[in-house]
Chains A and B, each alone.
Chain A
Amino acid sequence: MTGNEKTAGLLMCACMLMSSLTLTGCERSEPARWTPSELVTELPDPALQDELNKLVTENSGTASTPQLVTQPNPTFKQQLHLKHGQAVYRKRCVQCHGENGDGNGEAADHLYPRPRDYTRGIFKFTSTPYGARPRREDLIRVVHTGVTGTSMPRFNRLPEKDIKAVVDYVMVLSQRGELQFQLAMEADAAEELDPEYVPEFIEDVVNRWQQAGSSLTQPLTPQPELTAQRAALGREAFLSKGCSKCHGDDGRGHTKDNIGSDSWGYPTRAADLTSGMLRGGQQPIDVYRRIMNGINGTPMPGFKAAFASEPDTIWNLVAFVLQTSNRRRYQEEIPAGLMKPYDTLANTARAQKANAGSEGGAAPEG
């Protein structure tokens, strides 16, 4: 390279730098910044807000020094890891999930279902019991596989390091949000934050997240072969054990009163199981856990206690749900939903018909 070329190169560099900065800004132009939730800013007493924000910062750090409530005083290495997670999050997640992880990113209003709000500590698709926090592995898995049928893509091409870091950062946001929520509820109820009771709230967050690590739910019985026969038995259970009350007789959920609300305050419906898109995963164990534990934050209840005396029924239901979910894949035509109110007597009649071996279908009847 001659001196002239060098100068030209440098000049060009300068030009490019100037233009790139003026036109697009640089990627790290805005430092990450967390803001208090609406529950906090709605507290009438500003001093109480300050006190609350201080407590949250003490336990979760700030956006420039994020830390897990469950892991106070992180080492330098842990801090770097979380900062890396933050960088990944701000590149790939923040658009929908928002800077605070409250599901209020720029795109959120245009998506259905809305992006998850982590700040209650509630995640839908976990391997833990209803109401429990997710295991780290559950979150890693969702990042890996995405959530079929929603706007959540799969990030399976990201390096493992990035996925782990971003999941840990999501856990920071979630724990921060949960602590903030709990303290805000207390501050609202008591109009103060009694130092005597504050440690209890921090302890609760820590306990819940730590317990989740060891509360993996296992099937009550080993997985049998999911045969057509089991699917038929599953269909019978589907109609008689309560599933059809929300999902409808045909599993499409097309009924007039299939409307509930979720823990985040949005309307939600029992899934159309014929869509072929089971959001919690298409593996038998995924479906099993949805039935056994229910789906966090939604009206879907856990059936573990109801099936304690007949645990194999859950596998039958899994077989039926998977069969129903795969109907479109086998080019089966799915009739439009029933849009018919419930009639349990008809359910029973149909169940008997199905039991007798005839392919009853789901024709509406009086």
Chain B
Amino acid sequence: MLQNTRSSQSLRRVICARRLTAMTALSVLACLMTGCGDSAETKPAPATAPDTDSSAPDTSDTASRQEPSENSNAAATTESSETAATDSRVGTDIPESNAKDNAKPAQPAATTGSFSGRVILKGTPPDLPVLARADDENLKDKEVCGMADVPDDSLLVGADSGIASVFLYLRRAPKGFKQETPTEPVVLDQKGCVFTPHTALIQTGQPVMVKSSDAVQHNVHTFPARNQGVNILIKPNDQAGIPLEYARAESEPIQVKCDIHAWMASYHLVLDHPFMAVTDEAGAFRIEGLPVGDYEFRVWHERAGLLERELAVSVTGSDTPVELTYAVDQFTK
């Protein structure tokens, strides 16, 4: 019996080999009858034909020829997911403009203006529990992290309902804008098991120093989409610091974490231009030096994600502060 199976297997192998090489009429028939994919595989012969694409245009041609099968599938499975922050604009008094391109200064570098205002919360801010209680006996590294309660900084609401830590930025530099990379390093410190500052604005190529003022080890773990992520252990009280570098602009602020103390988080916005701001404790922001023109700003918050994708802003010589109001449920979802 054993012998039998083995021989039938070998026989099958022989036949398979024969089918592949000689392609007898019988095997073709069998293949057609059983729907063996071999015929399917041989069909797109023009695409599989090797050695034809020696130049780039040729390859793209191949690509477009092959596309429909994959794409029809893709289209079929697409779900129309709603885009973030489409109807989130509440009570802005920004002059509406028809700008489709966020980079169309009327007269580049001729005159500049600024964009300023406040971001305001509508509703009662949620009561967020502290992240690390000083009286928690089981707190990790209690003698350092338990010096004081570590508050939840993920939604800071200040005077007159101003929301802190909201990023406002242009995704791309205005056309024709030349970046002058600042040489001044951005310093990220860690004190009492909290990243300070909680948010950082960084330009590509700008030096970043990560320091520690704590007597315990921390690790700095970045989660960029386009840059190379790092995860570095920082020595206790490392004041010399460890340099980080971001080479590419990110499309959104990225999270920076400490895995040892899992509550520690901060956010870096990395862009290849200086037109970005983050709101202060009172929710105020100001971006200066913008060439006069029409722009589309993005507004982002760590709890809400993108609040605005295309906030139309017209920069003229005179600056009219704006008020951006967002409902509290956008921050508690």
Contact = CB atoms under 8 A, between A and B. Distances in A.
Contacts of A40: 74
A159 interface: no
Contacts of B139: 341
Nearest to B219: A301
Interface stretch (A75-83, A226-234, A357-365): A75-83
B26 interface: yes
Given A189-B171, A208-B228, A42 B79 contact: yes
Interface string A187-204: 001110000000010001
Nearest to A297: B229
B38 A54 contact: no
B112 to A, nearest CB: 24
Given A245-B217, A342-B141, A17 B233 contact: no
A201 to B, nearest CB: 8
A359 B16 CA distance: 66
B53 A302 contact: no
Given A49-B74, A299-B259, A306 B38 contact: no
A94 B30 CA distance: 27
Nearest to B298: A189
B70 A17 contact: no
Contacts of B70: 33-36, 53, 57, 62
A73 B59 contact: yes
Interface string B216-246: 1101110101101111111100100010000
A12 interface: yes
A132 interface: yes
Contacts of B248: 200, 204
B84 to A, nearest CB: 10
A303 interface: yes
A24 to B, nearest CB: 9
A131 B229 contact: yes
Size category, A interface: 35 or more
A245 B235 CA distance: 13
A16 B11 contact: yes
A78 to B, nearest CB: 9
A35 B73 contact: yes
B64 interface: yes
Contacts of B260: 242, 245-246
B60 interface: yes
Contacts of B309: 191
Contact of B251 (A17, A64, A186): A186
A65 B71 contact: no
Contacts of B27: 17
Given A16-B12, A185-B251, A26 B36 contact: yes
Contacts, number: 209
Contact of A73 (B31, B53, B67): B53
Interface string B179-209: 0000000000000000000000000000000
Contacts of A260: 259, 262
B12 A182 contact: no
Contacts of A186: 251
Contact of B80 (A44, A208, A301): A44
Given A16-B15, A208-B228, A31 B75 contact: no
Given A14-B26, A190-B171, A20 B15 contact: yes
Contact of B231 (A44, A302, A344): A302
B251 A189 contact: yes
A21 interface: yes
A189 B250 CA distance: 10
B2 interface: no
Nearest to B80: A44
Interface string B50-69: 11011110011011101100
B47 A62 contact: yes
Contacts of B123: none
Contacts of B63: 54, 57-58, 61-62
A256 B139 CA distance: 11
Contacts of A154: none
B107 interface: no
A72 interface: yes
Contacts of A28: 37-38, 41
Contacts of B235: 305-306
Contacts of A4: none
B168 to A, nearest CB: 16
B234 A20 contact: no
Nearest to B138: A341
B138 A299 contact: no
B140 A341 contact: yes
Contacts of B217: 241-242, 245, 306
Given A18-B30, A36-B74, 11 more contacts: A13-B11, A21-B34, A31-B41, A35-B74, A49-B78, A61-B62, A64-B48, A182-B226, A242-B216, A299-B259, A304-B232
6 contacts: A20-B12, A21-B31, A50-B71, A57-B63, A73-B55, A302-B233
| Nearest 7 A/B pairs, CB to CB | A242-B217, A299-B259, A189-B251, A341-B138, A301-B219, A57-B63, A131-B228
